[in-house]
Amino acid sequence: MQYKTLVILIKSKQRDGYCIAGRELYLGRREGCLGGWFRLVSSDKFSQGAILQNHLGPELSLNVLDVVLVPVKTMQPELGQPDNLLIDECDSWVIKGKIPDTIVSGFVESPDNLWWQAGVPNHIVPKGKDDEKYISQSLYLVKTEQLKFILSHQFNRFKAKYERKIRVSFQYHGHEYRGLSLRDVKVRRMLSGQYPDAGSADKVITLLKGDNYYLCVSLGTCFGVQKNHYKAVDTVFDFDGYLQANYG
């Protein structure tokens, strides 16, 4: 049986389970101890490969920044997500420790852009431009500028009810990214009391530490009639670990 040791950087809701992703950690090495990204997926078709609680085990409470030993089978890439890794559901996960919040800045990456393509809305990647020629990885931890959260409470005609949403906008390497969904549970909890009244104008929220935040940004599987891939902010870190310590 194969195992990977990962530091968990993303744990967000996905249907009845979780989207869990992180970077490989080579324990016992002084240099080059941090490896590539892996998005852990299961064989569960109903949840579209989500990690369910029974995969973790009834007693395991997994959190962001945990270091965990995961039984795995094989890479299971798909268009737009070359970093998917199929777990082995016959063995248990084991938490080996935890990474301090304050060293997350050492994990920050610097890609030229976040799947930016000219002439395309900046929160999506269209079908046909989602193979490895365009997407070498679908997960990044980056430092951005001008981070804003846009809270709305508008009527959804399809669902016939008012619906609360949070979208994220920011600047990265000279490009503006707008309309990314927020999947970070702790930040959604922190902002839950700040939505506008139903039907009122959207509310723009900025956090107290200005540009001192790091975002885990991901690319989803193809979705909808046009089969676009939608970008999302899965985790928000601050430089001193306050968010994770108080809302995680």
Tens-place pLDDT, residues 105-116: 999 999 999 999
pLDDT band at 242; cut points 50, 70, 90: confident
- Please state, in angstroms and rounded to a whole number, the distance separating the CA atoms of residues 52 and 55: 5
| Average pLDDT of span 179-205 | 96
- Pick the residue with more confidence: 27 or 107? 107
Residue 32 has pLDDT above 70, yes or no: no
Per-residue pLDDT, 71: 96
pTM here is 0.93
Tens-place pLDDT, residues 142-154: 999 999 999 999 9
Output the CA angle 167-172-177, nearest 5 degrees: 30
pLDDT band at 31; cut points 50, 70, 90: low
Q: What is the DSSP string of 18-51?
A: EEEEEEEE-TT-SSS-EEEEEEEE-S-TTTTSPB
66-75 and 2-14 as β-strands: parallel, antiparallel, unpaired?
Answer: antiparallel
